[in-house]
Amino acid sequence: MHRTRSIRRLINGKDPITMSVTMHLKWYSTSEAAELLGYGLTKTKHLVLSGEIRSVKDGGHRKILPEWVDEYIRRKVAEDEAA
């Protein structure tokens, strides 16, 4: 997942130009993880609070590393294949 932002800058004091900058996220918020998984926010919060999706608390917010989302997906696929 990434975010794209437009930035307006003056170059050499002349007319401003608009640049597009793409930032790749190092970790996700709970709502971003929910969007990636195609889940609702309530379900994703439950998965995080129950420990099914790993997270760390950063101030008042939970953060989820991309590999933790991938781990959750791999476990769900393995459970489905075992059933």
CB contact at 8 A, 30 and 38:
no
Which DSSP string corresponds to 15-66?
A: SEEEEEEEEE-SSEEHHHHHHHHT--HHHHHHHHHTTSS--EEETTEEEE-H
Residue 64, domain CATH? 1.10.1660
Per-residue pLDDT of the chain (83 residues; tens, 9 = 90+): 555 555 555 556 666 666 676 667 789 999 999 999 999 999 999 999 999 999 999 999 999 999 999 999 999 999 999 98
- Would you call 8 helix, strand, or coil by DSSP? strand
How many domains are contained in the chain? 1
By residue range, what is the domain housing residue 76? 2-82
